[in-house]
Structure 1
Amino acid sequence: MNHVPTPDGTRSFVVIGETNLARRVCASLREDEHAVLHLTQPRDEDLHAALSPEPTGIAVLLHEDAAALRYALALAHISTGIPIVVTIFDRTMADELLRLLPQCDVTSPADLVAPALAGPCVDVAIAALYRQGPLTRAVRVSGTDVRAEHWTPERVQWRSRLDRLTGQPHDAGARLMLAGMAGMLAALLGDWAWLTSLGHPAAEALFDAARVVATVGPAAAPPHSSAYQVVASVLMLSTIVFSAMFTAGVVDRMLGPQLVGLIGPRTVPRSGHVIVVGTGQVGLRLCGELRRLGVPVVGVDRDPHAPNARLARSLGIPVLVGHGGDRAVLERLHLNRARALAAVGSDDLDNIAVAITAHGVSPGTRIVLRAGEHEAIAETRSLLPLGTIRDVTSLAAAYVLARLLGKPAIGVVAHRHGIFVESHGESFTAWPLAARKGCLHIDVAASA
């Protein structure tokens, strides 16, 4: 392992990780003629060698939070004065690391990209949308002019409030439970109406109808009413089926993850909402950002037992279990009345498949597409007709580079193929990036 010699007037950096983000940061630093030592899985002795002589800055860019935490602690132990930029997805772990190591700049690509995704989900003319204290700021780009302005959330319509009280069953357990309940109620009301029409007092008729639904039979059948006896027998036999359906639905709801509610904030909205396909780190942060902005949102995930799906439940975000590229799922989520669909899964190809299906189901619905894992996909202009593209890797790389070079970056925004770094005072600076193939330290074929 040899250090790259430092040219005159340049600085030296250490990049740790074999992710696309690490390759992008390494390539951009090399393009600016900085010396870069890129390590993939260094051992302790490699870290000691990398910090002698001390570099200008270190970037720890990994997918696994535990590994990133270990490297950050080890680097801080070796040298307490070198600035370190670390990407950690878990917010609790990130806050604790920042408390322990003040020289660390801890960030998450999911947190960085959430405002850039939320903007076009709400309005195609907004590049980014985020909360700043009690206010909401919208970033708009016109040519080279980038400005942030106050944004007033739309008032919640009465229909959106009504949706919370009239949720639809979107899972098999809920449908079974409601179908069984509806069947038993229909049997109860039908029997009660029959008895009251024959002159029975209302209370007595209700008592006998309840006995029929409980499958114990009426207290006494009306005289000369063989028809009622037949109907009561049919109702009792039917109630056995309805009660079994109701019990199965209740058990499924109690034992299942319960990601969608029947009433309350976790009901699936019917109009003016954003459908977020993929509730990974990026998808969950986007759902939370939209919820804070007052925009109705519903997530879609294939795995009902995913950790983030359970976390979404605790945050009051409804998550429908299904494939975002399934036409039936999109129709059940009222895509034609949605504000936008955001395909933000970790696989670019899956996101494209979801976008194509959504465009076929509802051509007029706005689509926001996450890219960045496949560079050819992220950069091609042929995807523009599918919707607004946000390259997560480019946004995170611009922020990491700005912090490594000592720029007071607080966020990043994207517009078309341009990346802008936001500094204090709402100033924005265009930040060009090199292609990740400019990193020669990792085999391109192995990391593609």
Structure 2
Amino acid sequence: MIPTHPEPAALRAFTVIGDTNLARRVCASLREHRHSVDHLLRPTDGELRRSLRADPDGVAIVLHDDVAALRYALAVAHLLPEVPIVAMVFDRTVADELRRLLPQCDVTSPADLAVPALAGPCTDPSSLALYRSGQRVRTVRAGDGGLRAETWLRHRRRPWHCLRHVAGQLRPHDAGARLLLTGLSGILAVLAVDWSWLVSHGHPPTEAFFHAARVVAAVGPATAPTDAPGYQVLSSVSMLVTLVLSALFTAGVIERILGSRLIGLIGPRTVPRSGHVIVVGMGQVGMRLCVELRHLGIPVVGVERDPHVSTARLARTLGIPVMAGHGGDRSVLERLRLGHARALAAVGSDDLDNIAVAIAAHGVAPGTRVIIRAGEHDAIAETRSLLPMGTVRDVTSLAAAYVLARLLREPAVGVVTHEHDVYLQAPDETFARRPLTAREGCPHAPSSPAALALPAISSDRVDVPGG
């Protein structure tokens, strides 16, 4: 039997800061265990001071705004230097700085917590999670005795997979690349035909190449044989054709220079042809999932509507190919060879968009495994009950379970999910089920749009411990 955490004997008091669904889930679960919770949506400086006068046993800061989370964490540390803090921060630079300044602050993000649970089913349908432990890669699987962690064995790539990769290096995936390759291929073809004609008529290879290059450059051969009218016609037609091909090639080069160039023609940013994972939605979760899969040696390609978002530019520097388009478009999925992919992960921030992508994927390639990110919209549960769309990972539940564990001082290094239940992973790689309460159990209404503005923290000097 899988152990569950016993109900704590002593009731405690906590402060939860945030107007997100994650904050409401944490608040509802703490109240379910009869703890005292002061839930502040977007507190002002005075509201924060009044809440902390009760000397809470812990403070959870769960916002979507890293700057606001940083400022609240610094303010809490100034008012109560010893109180444990759990903060959700997406940006790793900000998170690392916060850890350095506030040793009592446990800093993580829903993206970091969800990536192992998403990477597992992306690689193997029987894997619940995949994470790195030192130099090893471990996978979590379900068995008769509960959940267990074991060493993940990476499948070796067959030799023909390398040949497929080489064959796909010059496979165009956008209009600019097609123009460039069409023009370049045509010019090379004209050059080869002209050179072959001259060589076959007795010209030395080097002289033939010189004349052919002049024809391709549209300046004509150095000397046109008067006794070979066929070559005169050939060179004339070749020069006219080369003018068109040069225009196509130039247009492709300009588009590649001025465009976002998220997919390369050659090198690591080419789109894989088979055995890859398609990640739709290059936000914080999608970006980190791509990085983790690449680290595990699994080919990956991202899909993002807006090619100018910061994560798409980051993907380019990391050598991750990203196609600009909507993941629910059939043409995009076909161009990404969904039928030959290992899996598709719909991990956008909008649950309904993820559902649309999953439905489109089932229509294009019914046999391809689909992993869906959920947790922000109630309709995801209803749709999952109507259609076996794929493996669903509730990111909000995973993050809520971890925040609860850290607030209650329970050892937890990760979270996994199995059959609608969330399990905490202890340092000794044992797993305990963590019951959660629906966010409707939080009586605090979401804040109004006007209240979402970051309140001004007091202008008083904030002394940061360790700073």
Query: Which residue of 1 is the match for residue 454 of structure 2?
Result: none
The one-letter code matched in structure 1 to 2:132 is R
Counterparts of 2:69 and 2:157 in 1: how far apart (Å)?
41
Query: Which residue of 1 is the match for residue 434 of structure 2?
Result: 431
- Whether the 8 Å CA contact 1:325–1:353 is kept in 2: the answer is yes
1:392-403 matched pairs, under 5 angstroms: 392-403=395-406
Query: Which residue of 2 is the match for residue 75 of structure 1?
Result: 76
Query: Which residue of 2 is the match for residue 334 of structure 1?
Result: 337
Query: Which residue of 1 is the match for residue 278 of structure 2?
Result: 275
Q: CA deviation at 1:163?
A: 4.2
Query: Which residue of 1 is the match for residue 114 of structure 2?
Result: 113
- Whether the 8 Å CA contact 2:417–2:423 is kept in 1: the answer is yes
Q: Does 1:137 align with 2:138?
A: yes
1:371-410 matched pairs, under 5 angstroms: 371-378=374-381, 381-382=384-385, 385-410=388-413
- Whether the 8 Å CA contact 2:139–2:150 is kept in 1: the answer is yes
Gaps of 5+ in 2: 1-8, 452-467
The one-letter code matched in structure 1 to 2:426 is S
Counterparts of 2:236 and 2:19 in 1: how far apart (Å)?
71
Counterparts of 1:314 and 1:157 in 2: how far apart (Å)?
28
Query: Which residue of 1 is the match for residue 250 of structure 2?
Result: 247
- TM-aligned CA distance change 1:394 to 1:383, over 3 Å: farther
The one-letter code matched in structure 2 to 1:75 is V
Q: CA deviation at 1:141?
A: 1.7
Counterparts of 1:302 and 1:443 in 2: how far apart (Å)?
29
Q: Report SS of the residue matched to 2:334.
A: helix
Query: Which residue of 2 is the match for residue 363 of structure 1?
Result: 366
Query: Which residue of 2 is the match for residue 311 of structure 1?
Result: 314
Question: What TM-score, normalized by structure 1, do the two folds share?
Answer: 0.95
- Whether the 8 Å CA contact 2:20–2:446 is kept in 1: the answer is no
The one-letter code matched in structure 2 to 1:195 is L
Counterparts of 1:94 and 1:160 in 2: how far apart (Å)?
39
Q: Which moved more, 1:382-391 or 1:126-135?
A: 382-391
What is the percentage of aligned positions where both structures have the same residue?
Answer: 64
**CA offset digits 1:255-282 (Å, max 9, x no partner):** 3222112222221111111111111101
Q: Does 1:17 align with 2:42?
A: no
- Whether the 8 Å CA contact 2:41–2:446 is kept in 1: the answer is no
Query: Which residue of 2 is the match for residue 350 of structure 1?
Result: 353
Aligned length: 441
Q: CA deviation at 1:142?
A: 2.8
- TM-aligned CA distance change 1:383 to 1:277, over 3 Å: farther
- Whether the 8 Å CA contact 1:325–1:354 is kept in 2: the answer is yes
The one-letter code matched in structure 2 to 1:278 is G
Q: Report SS of the residue matched to 1:96.
A: helix
Q: CA deviation at 1:443?
A: 4.2
Q: Report SS of the residue matched to 2:388.
A: helix
The one-letter code matched in structure 2 to 1:153 is R
- Whether the 8 Å CA contact 1:131–1:293 is kept in 2: the answer is no
Q: Report SS of the residue matched to 1:48.
A: helix
1:416 pairs, out of 419, 422, 429, with: 419
Counterparts of 1:92 and 1:157 in 2: how far apart (Å)?
39
Question: What TM-score, normalized by structure 2, do the two folds share?
Answer: 0.91
Counterparts of 1:322 and 1:347 in 2: how far apart (Å)?
16
Counterparts of 1:383 and 1:93 in 2: how far apart (Å)?
41
Q: Which moved more, 1:207-216 or 1:315-324?
A: 315-324
1:231 pairs, out of 231, 234, 238, with: 234
Counterparts of 1:29 and 1:379 in 2: how far apart (Å)?
26
Counterparts of 2:267 and 2:389 in 1: how far apart (Å)?
33
Query: Which residue of 2 is the match for residue 59 of structure 1?
Result: 60
Q: Does 1:128 align with 2:129?
A: yes
- Whether the 8 Å CA contact 1:174–1:253 is kept in 2: the answer is yes
The one-letter code matched in structure 2 to 1:42 is P
Q: CA deviation at 1:254?
A: 2.3
Q: Does 1:214 align with 2:229?
A: no
The one-letter code matched in structure 2 to 1:412 is V
Counterparts of 1:443 and 1:97 in 2: how far apart (Å)?
27
Q: CA deviation at 1:200?
A: 1.9
Counterparts of 1:110 and 1:378 in 2: how far apart (Å)?
21
Q: CA deviation at 1:445?
A: 10
Structure possessing the higher relative contact order (Cα contacts under 8 Å, 6 or more residues apart): 2
- Whether the 8 Å CA contact 1:16–1:41 is kept in 2: the answer is yes
**CA offset digits 1:290-341 (Å, max 9, x no partner):** 1111111111111111110111112221111111111111111111111111
Q: CA deviation at 1:228?
A: 2.3
Q: CA deviation at 1:350?
A: 0.8
Query: Which residue of 1 is the match for residue 200 of structure 2?
Result: 197
Pairwise CA RMSD? 1.9
Q: CA deviation at 1:381?
A: 4.3
Counterparts of 1:399 and 1:333 in 2: how far apart (Å)?
35
Query: Which residue of 2 is the match for residue 92 of structure 1?
Result: 93
**CA offset digits 1:190-227 (Å, max 9, x no partner):** 11112222222221111111001001011111223333
